[in-house]
Amino acid sequence: MLTKLPSTFSRNKTKLTRNVLKHAKNLVVIGCFCIGTNQVDLEFAADQGVAVFNSPFSNSRSVAEMTIAEIITLSRQMGDRSIELHNGIWNKVSARCWEIRGKTLGIIGYGHIGSQLSVLAEAFGMNVLYYDILMIMALGTAKQVSTLEELLNKSDFVSLHVPETPETKMMFGTPQFAAMKDGSYLINNSRGSVVDIPALIDALKLGKLAGAAIDVYPQEPAKNGPFFNNQLNTWTSELQSLKNIILTPHIGGSTEEAQSAIGIEVGTALTSYINEGISTGAVNFPEVSLRGLDLDQDNAVRVLYIHQNVPGVLKTVNNILSDHNIEKQFSDSRGDVAYLMADISGVTSEDIKSLYEELNATQYKIAVRLLY
């Protein structure tokens, strides 16, 4: 049961809703062993004093490499040729098969994955354009464009690498497909909510697009097996019937290297937060850090005080701490939640007990931990 754990672990399909979290009375921290955190009620977790960590870097290379593989596979129609040959059909053709050298790749979302993809694509001789809501310095000779329409007008391949937010939901539909070059390709290795699949099907049937690669879907099976069908998404069989379309089961980050790196990255963050109170990298929580605790120092305690972000709290807390030597202290806030870390020296076991009781009794306290 969650109520007996100081931390819990989440993957893409593990839903930590408000109803689940409110029963996890002793929960301190959540680790999401993936990039996405939409499976966790982040705001409610923060209000309960529960920090959430994810792995924003570890599978970036895996997704970028798969995208490059899909670009080459689509441009050479290798998926269709492979299926044909598995069925005994020899179909050696070169019509509408292209080298990717000299073609233009448009990247939507120039974050960890998008920027990695940019470097790989240039190594293959591609020209790279990217669109992002932020101004981001380009790697290599890539160029940022000011509008999504400009990117769509100029790109032979368009690859999506955006998070799931209200702004990105169904951001790619009929108007966007209409703005793309005739005979271009779409790749979505981001989130299933980003692309209007029926509109994509229409664009492929009309010949507007020459192909597509899809790794994520609005509704995905909860487990492996023969579950990707029309009962899951009404358009599934129609999508499966199309030519030159690569369908993969959300495996963009599924490599041995990525899974190992994710475990190390999230595990390190959880350990640092539990053992030292360091919240750097938390996705829902104030990011606070102090230099490491001195394990050789006696009669010292680290105070971790999570509280509502209202005026007067720090004055109350510092009055409680004022009888002791505060060696270092740092506080930050994020929305309605604030987090204070303070290292106190010259304390006895009785002092530690008294500090805990007094801090716990304060009006706007969310959670208190003392490390010693």
* Catalytic residue numbers, as ranges: 191, 220, 250
How far is the C-alpha of 257 from the C-alpha of 120, rounded, in Å?
A: 18
Rounded to 10°, the helix 60-76/112-123 angle is: 50
Report the candidate in 208, 282, 281 with the shortest Cα–Cα distance to residue 51: 282
Beta-carbon contacts of residue 196 (< 8 Å; ≥ 6 apart):
170, 172, 173, 174
How far is the C-alpha of 111 from the C-alpha of 116, rounded, in Å?
A: 8
8 A C-beta contact, residue 201 and residue 211: no
Report the candidate in 271, 343, 335 with the shortest Cα–Cα distance to residue 309: 335
How far is the C-alpha of 67 from the C-alpha of 159, rounded, in Å?
A: 8
Report the b/e string of 171-197 with b at 16+ CB within 10 A: bbbeebbeebbeebbbbbbbbbbbbbb
8 A C-beta contact, residue 97 and residue 77: yes
Beta-carbon contacts of residue 3 (< 8 Å; ≥ 6 apart):
23, 24, 25, 26, 27
How far is the C-alpha of 359 from the C-alpha of 132, rounded, in Å?
A: 44
* Order of strands, sheet of 29-32, starting from the edge strand that comes earlier in the sequence: 7-10, 29-32, 51-53
8 A C-beta contact, residue 301 and residue 346: no
Q: Which long-range contacts (CB under 8 A, 24 or more apart) does 131-139 make?
A: 131/106, 131/107, 132/108, 136/110, 138/110, 139/115
How far is the C-alpha of 29 from the C-alpha of 48, rounded, in Å?
A: 10
At 155, give phi and psi (nearest 5°): -95, 140
